[in-house]
Structure 1
């Protein structure tokens, strides 16, 4: 699928699939994330290609798709002079629920998202975190089979971000609703996604299980009590012992050792000889950001577009 706006290609030859659980759609601002969601909702037409959502064609069955799908937009779109309760009930009615069922579902879902005690307040007086929760509630009120969450942590403080990500995880794993969630903050999606799709400039860089992105590199991370001096002292001693290592923040990152070398024993004995107190030795795990940066450097040479 391709989408052009004039001479600008927002999506280029994109072929991808989204399954059950939580799927993270990651990329910088302008990568094409919101454009893809709007196409899947039938709000934008692709320039070339097509897509199916829950078995329905986006071109001819967009209304049926929107009946079955929940959508939490990125930008603030809440009427300020309406309570969350009235708003979510109204959205439930718009999705086809009878009045009584809409009220029951609204009360239930507002409790799940943490707005039970604030549901009768006008939303114009809500904090950013409360507004995000109200947007999430309206996306869930009609019991959708799939929800699109566009930057659900946008504008939230660190504590509120953690709470929102926990809600996203519950939707996919406890409620059994498939989730496609977008973010430009890569670390967020590591924690909650079962599958990750990486976009860059409208191109698909990679689509695979989150565990495949975060596999063990074969190296270690080592921390000792102290500051930079103690870290560097350990790193230099490990280098003399035949290990390749470098500083990473307050840690010493040790590259995968030569075959047969008992690297844990070397680290332990070296720290003991130096009189340094070990805090931890842990596997060095790749991060989504590392994979994204690595993929981005080769995207210009060959943008992958095969099926995921």
Structure 2
């Protein structure tokens, strides 16, 4: 089921010739959809347009079947939104804030309080819900923002940089929550990030933006599929260069990939290639750490498709 659809969506600010979004056409379905791109790629602009908070310069889009130009209020009623920047009133308790946001979304008082307690427990703030949010850590503030996005039982959730400013442990917890929303709760999620590895791990579908342009929009498995190449890691003095020279002498082409050697197995059958690498490592006195198939990564999209 398609929950978001855009067609040649374009946004220019003022008289600028540079577009924040340029002819963007995507379809977003159920599960977790990640929108990845550097700062300024158009991620936040896209979310604000989809919520009816910004008007596009041209093009069209629908969210849950609602037109962004004429049905913004209906969209915001049905969607849970977690903004990127800190927007929490420091002199309010989390429980009161989330109850208030539930009431704003149309819940009656008793239902709003019950839902607020539930979502604060789900995001890990059950014990801290009566504390003033001004004393919260960054991770707790992000959890409170997520709770208010969920309190009214939305049909779609949009999360703008939910891991922004988090330490590694808090980042892992937030990513687990995002995946749980999309899969355990069954609520479609649109989540943005400038960190490629995050979305690669939690998303079912990834949209890659660069300076407002769409680079790719595909299932995550299409990005991370086996490339057919082999990665080799060896240890020892000048290990990469020595192994590379030995492989070239055997007619096996290679190229460096960080500290690894990337080999095209077209030059030798897989079994023969493993034997060649093993024997060369032994002859050169190198430690053979691993031989493994190379899978694609989101960062490859930027290396291959974004002009230098």
1:116 equivalent in alignment to 2:118: no
1:281 offset after TM fit, Å? 1.3
Give the 3-state SS of the residue equivalent to 2:59 in structure 1. coil
2:167 is aligned with 1:161: no
Distance 1:257 1:127 in 2: 53
Q: Match of 1:17, SS? A: strand
Task: Give the match for residue 56 of structure 1.
Answer: 66
Partner SS, residue 180 of structure 2: helix
Corresponding position of 1:306: none
1:50-199 → structure 2 map (5 Å cutoff): 50-199=60-209
1:279 pairs with one of 284, 289, 293: 289
Which aligned segments of 4 or more residues in structure 1 are displaced greater than 6 angstroms?
Answer: none
Matched-pair contact (CA < 8 Å) for 2:82–2:145 = yes
Q: Distance in 2 between matches of 1:195 and 1:43?
A: 25
Q: Distance in 2 between matches of 1:228 and 1:254?
A: 20
1: CA distance, partners of 2:264 / 2:86: 46
**Paired positions, count:** 297
Describe the SS at the equivalent of 2:69.
coil
User: Would the alpha carbon gap of residues 228 and 91 (structure 1) be closer, same or farther in structure 2, given more than 3 Å must change?
Assistant: farther
Is the deviation greater in 260-269 or in 139-148? Answer: 260-269
Aligned to 1:245: 254
Query: Is there any run of 5+ residues in structure 2 with no aligned partner, and where?
Result: 1-8
Between 1:92-101 and 1:260-269, the stretch displaced more is: 260-269
Q: Answer yes or no: is 1:2 the counterpart of 2:22.
A: no
Partner residue, 1:231: 240
SS at match of 1:11: strand
| Alignment TM-score, normalising by the size of structure 2 | 0.91
- CA distance in structure 2 between the aligned counterparts of 1:90 and 1:290, rounded to whole angstroms: 44
Q: How big is each residue's C-alpha offset from its partner over 1:224-265, in whole Å with a ceiling of 9 and x where there is no partner?
A: 3x3552333323222222222233333222234326462122
The CA deviation at 1:7 is 2.3
Alpha-carbon distance in structure 1 between the residues aligned to 2:302 and 2:233: 26
8 Å CA contact retained: 1:92, 1:102: yes
How far apart are the structure 2 equivalents of 1:176 and 1:222?
Answer: 40
1:228–1:117: structure 2 CA closer, same or farther, 3 Å change rule?
farther
CA contact (8 A) 1:244 1:257 kept: no
| Structure 1 unmatched runs, 5+ | 299-308
Quote the offset at 1:182 in angstroms.
Answer: 0.6
SS at match of 1:16: strand
CA distance in 2: counterparts of 1:158 and 1:243, whole angstroms: 40
Q: CA deviation at 1:202?
A: 1.3
User: Is the aligned partner of 1:33 residue 2:28?
Assistant: no
**SS in structure 2 of the partner of residue 155 of structure 1:** coil
Please tell me whether the aligned partners of residues 71 and 148 of structure 1 are also in contact (alpha carbons under 8 angstroms): yes
TM-score w.r.t. length of structure 1:
0.91
The offset of 1:133, in angstroms, is 0.8
